[in-house]
Amino acid sequence: MRIVFAGTPEFAVPCLRAAAQRGEVVAVYTQPDRPAGRGRGLTPSPVKKEALLRGIPVLQPENFKAKVSKDALRALEADVMVVVAYGLILPQSVLDIPAFGCWNVHASLLPRWRGAAPIQRAIEAGDTETGVCLMQMEKGLDTGPVLLSQSITIGADETGGQLHDRLAELGAQVLADGLGLLRAGIRPVPQPQPEEGVTYAHKLDKAEARLDWTQPARALANKVRAFNPWPMAEAQIAGERVRVHGAIAVDAAHGAAPGTLLRAGREGIDIACGDGVLRVRVLQREGGRAITAADFLNARQDLRVA
């Protein structure tokens, strides 16, 4: 079988490894190298690094608008093109080139959380279950029929980074199952997505990271989990701007204004919210590293409130 793989970030690397196990990946598409780091030097994507380690040819077109880009894909004579967080919307003219079309590994249980940030939005919304879908791609945004899927439970304290890693491995497993069926001459049956239950996972924005104390504590706790490790929740605590790495919601009544520091001790720093209390347990001062609330209070003895 001839497989073309298209992906860019770390999430796609386990899927590339799964697709390349038998030496069937004839080419890898990934986003052009981008400036990164303090020196802003051009840096290859995680997928490109993995492909080069495996000796797989890498192509990095800006898009597929030019005829030469489509001709290059056509010349690969792919049976299937696997797309995992590639970062480009593929036109129908490209989706039609591989013999079995393009398959996408998407980190949600479609039609819930179509779009760019399904992992973080699931946590932010308080979902207790998510999963991975192997989808037959079509022109719409994550609208194609589902070929295979697998669900998992979201841990009560699980962060966006932790769930990302679990779903990346689960995606590789689901993709391997789909490719195994195709090798055996069994094409997975496409199941159209239901029309009900559609939600969109909009791209993360750093402007969302600021915690609004007028919101319910549970919503803020979910945001803290979802935005770890990026863009990381930020807050003003006792006049100091900090990043919040870990926090839990405490169901406690209070008559204080949102943002008021209620208690501070080894267990955490309790902040009044619009509903309930947010207990900040791990935080980061500007220019520092992540520390426990207890360590933070050692430097801010003035904040200790019984």
CATH number at residue 39: 3.40.50.170
Q: Which of 163, 186, 201 is the last residue of a domain?
A: 201
Pick from 162, 183, 201: which residue ends a domain? 201
Both tokens of 151, joined, read: 């669900």
Predicted local distance difference test score (pLDDT) of residue 52:
98
138, 196: one domain: yes
> Any binding-site annotation on 109?
yes
Q: Is 149 part of any known ligand binding site?
A: no
Q: Identify the pLDDT of residue 304.
A: 59
The answer to whether residues 46 and 195 belong to one domain is yes
Q: Are residues 176 and 218 in the same domain?
A: no
Domain identity same for 268 and 185: no
Q: How high is the pLDDT of residue 77?
A: 98
Residue 267 and residue 118 share a domain: no
User: What sign for the dihedral angle of Cα 218, 224, 226, 227?
Assistant: positive
One domain for residues 94 and 107:
yes
Which amino acid does the sequence have at 169?
E
Strands 25-29 and 34-36 come out as unpaired
Residue finishing a domain among 171, 186, 201 = 201
How high is the pLDDT of residue 35? Answer: 86
What is the end-to-end Cα distance of the chain in Å, rounded? 67
How far apart CA 102 and CA 98 sit, in angstroms, is 7
Distance CA 250, CA 268 (A): 11
| Same domain, yes or no: 142 and 284 | no
Residues 134 and 228 in one domain: no
Domains in the chain: how many in total?
2
CATH at 292: 3.10.25.10
pLDDT at 305: 54
Q: Is the domain of 21 the same as that of 131? A: yes
Q: What is the pLDDT of residue 186?
A: 95
Residue with tokens 């699980």: 158
Residue 111 in marked binding region: yes
Stretches in the chain below the pLDDT threshold 70: 304-306
Nearest C-alpha neighbor of 297 from the set 285, 286, 287: 285
What is the pLDDT, as a whole number, of residue 256?
96
SS (H, E, C) 159-200: CHHHHHHHHHHHHHHHHHHHHHHHHCCCCCCCECCCCCCCCE
pLDDT of residue 238: 83
Domain carrying residue 277: 206-303
Give the torsion sign (CA, 81, 83, 89, 92).
positive
Residues 19 and 60: their CA atoms lie apart, in Å, by: 19
- HEC string of the chain equals CCEEEEECCHHHHHHHHHHCCCCCEEEEECCCCEEECCCCEEECCHHHHHHHHCCCCEECCCCCCCHHHHHHHHHCCCCEEEEECCCCCCCHHHHCCCCCCEEEEECCCCCCCEECCHHHHHHHCCCCEEEEEEEECCCCCCCCCEEEEEEEECCCCCCHHHHHHHHHHHHHHHHHHHHHHHHCCCCCCCECCCCCCCCEECCCCHHHHECCCCCEHHHHHHHHHHCCCCCCEEEEECCEEEEEEEEEEECCCCCCCCCCEEEEECCEEEEECCECEEEEEEEEECCCCEEEHHHHHHHCHHHCEC
Same domain, 55 and 109: yes
97 & 197 share domain: yes
Tell me: do 78 and 187 sit in the same domain.
yes
Q: What is the pLDDT of residues 237-279, one digit of tens each?
A: 888 999 999 999 999 999 999 999 999 998 999 999 999 999 9
Is residue 42 marked as binding?
A: no
Contact assessment for residue 88 and residue 64, using Cβ atoms and an 8 Å cutoff:
yes
